[in-house]
């Protein structure tokens, strides 16, 4: 396992109220101190860090923070190519992510931002000097994207997207894992948000989202999936920006 410290979160409750997440990018030394202490406490479990480019577009600090994080003993660094000010607007700036590579001596650089297809994974490795890529929102809608990306990187045929029955089965498996981890009550509430990301773009997906976002017991969850999970395929469809993939939601 790995402990990953999130110095990139732009959500107001985290930055303004808790003075955490991307708020800390104003204070590279404090970021370094946190990484150092967590790495010492967690040894031999690797500690990694995730940052944004900076707090504002006028003050990009990724290279400075990256050096501090490396010197503090982190095992890897992920850079999301937006500032906290950008939140999720515009597009991730991969040129800025790439600049970080030149200041790192030892640890791998993982690039993050707007990768939503196997082709974009291949393109990121081809264009930018990154050692890895991180996929977030696209994986909420298509958890199988990792399998597809791995095939694309090996130069093999890309496995097709799941059919609706397969997607439904995956949703139930996801639900079972979450309930096993968090218990039936909390697990069901947590799954409201993630279930909404399934079956996007298919006829009936909106109704399914409306219903599943109100369930509060395992019986209700099963009932809604049984009755309302979309059954009619439609293609092509656009699942690039999953609703519910908003960290404030
Ligand atoms: C619902 C949601 C929850 C997130 N939670 C975390 C988190 O706990 N830790 C973290 O480092 N980043 C978190 N992120 C940010 C993502 O890891 C990622 O940096 C961001 O979504 C951009 O990547 P993407 O374009 O592939 O989505 C979250 C993002 C979303 C949408």
8 and 83, same domain (yes or no): yes
- Is residue 210, in this structure, part of any structural domain at all? yes
pLDDT category at 232 given cuts 50, 70, 90 is confident
What is the Cα–Cα distance from 72 to 163, expressed in whole angstroms?
A: 46
What are the tens digits of pLDDT across the range 196-214? 999 888 899 999 999 999 9
**What is the 122 CA–ligand 1 centroid distance (Å)?**
20
What are the tens digits of pLDDT across the range 174-188? 999 999 999 999 999
Q: Give the CA-trace dihedral at 123, 127, 128, 129, to 10 degrees.
A: 110
Structurally, the chain folds into a number of domains equal to 2
pLDDT at 201: 87
- Is residue 22, in this structure, part of any structural domain at all? yes
Query: 11 is written with which tokens?
Result: 């959500």
Q: Following DSSP, what letter does each residue of 135-185 receive, concatenated? A: --HHHHH-TTHHHHHHHHHHTPPPPPPPPHHHHHHHHHHHHHHHHHHH-HH
**What is the 22 CA–ligand 1 centroid distance (Å)?**
12
Burial of 87: CB neighbours in 10 Å, binned 0-12, 13-18, 19+: middle
Q: Taking 50 as the threshold, does the pLDDT of residue 245 lie above it? A: no
7 and 101, same domain (yes or no): yes
- ipTM of this complex prediction, to 2 decimal places: 0.98
- Is residue 48, in this structure, part of any structural domain at all? yes
Among the ranges given (141-150, 195-204, 231-240), the one the predictor scored with the smallest mean pLDDT: 231-240
Residue nearest to atom 30 of ligand 1 (CA): 247
Residue finishing a domain among 77, 99, 114: 114
- Is residue 61, in this structure, part of any structural domain at all? yes
Query: 159 is written with which tokens?
Result: 């496995």
Q: Which residue has the tokens 């395992």?
A: 218
Computed over every residue of the chain, the mean pLDDT equals 94
What is the Cα–Cα distance from 140 to 200, expressed in whole angstroms?
A: 11
- Is residue 213, in this structure, part of any structural domain at all? yes
101 and 176, same domain (yes or no): no
pLDDT at 88: 97
Catalytic residue, candidates 9, 55, 63, 197: 9
User: Which of 137, 197, 241, when mutated, tests ligand 1's pocket best, judged by the most ligand atoms within 8 Å of its CB?
Assistant: 137
**DSSP type of residue 45:** S
Query: Residue 73 belongs to a domain with what CATH number?
Result: 3.20.20.70
9 flagged as catalytic: yes
Its domain, for residue 39, covers 3-114
pLDDT category at 116 given cuts 50, 70, 90 is very high
pLDDT at 241: 44
Query: Residue 191 belongs to a domain with what CATH number?
Result: 1.10.1200
Residues 79/97, Cβ–Cβ less than 8 Å: yes
- Is residue 170, in this structure, part of any structural domain at all? yes
Closest CA to 134 of 11, 10, 48: 48
Atom of ligand 1 nearest to the CA of 80: 19
Pocket of ligand 1 (CB under 6 A): 6, 8, 50, 80, 112-115, 135-138, 245, 247
- Is residue 92, in this structure, part of any structural domain at all? yes
């Amino acid at each position: 396992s790995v402990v990953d410290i999130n110095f990139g979160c732009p959500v107001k409750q985290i930055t303004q109220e808790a003075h955490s997440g991307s708020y800390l990018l104003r204070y590279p030394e404090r970021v370094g101190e946190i990484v150092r202490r967590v790495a010492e406490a967690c040894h031999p479990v690797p500690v990694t860090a995730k940052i944004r480019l900076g707090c504002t577009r006028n003050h990009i600090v990724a290279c400075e923070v990256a050096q501090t994080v490396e010197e503090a003993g982190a095992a890897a660094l992920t850079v999301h190519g937006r500032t906290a000010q950008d939140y999720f607007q515009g597009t991730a700036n991969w040129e800025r992510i790439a600049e970080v590579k030149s200041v790192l001596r030892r640890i791998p650089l993982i690039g993050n931002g707007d990768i939503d297809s196997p082709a974009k994974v291949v393109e990121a490795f081809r264009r930018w000097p990154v050692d890895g890529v991180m996929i977030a929102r696209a994986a909420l809608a298509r958890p199988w994207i990792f399998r597809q990306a791995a095939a694309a990187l090996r130069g093999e045929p890309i496995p097709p997207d799941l059919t609706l029955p397969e997607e439904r089965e995956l949703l139930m498996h996801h639900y079972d894992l979450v309930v096993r981890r968090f218990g039936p009550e909390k697990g069901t509430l947590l799954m409201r948000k993630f279930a909404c990301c399934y079956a996007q773009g298919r006829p009936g997906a909106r109704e399914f989202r409306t219903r599943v976002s109100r369930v509060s017991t395992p019986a209700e969850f099963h009932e809604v999936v049984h009755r309302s999970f979309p059954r009619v395929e439609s293609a092509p469809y656009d699942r690039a920006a999953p609703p519910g993939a908003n960290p404030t939601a």
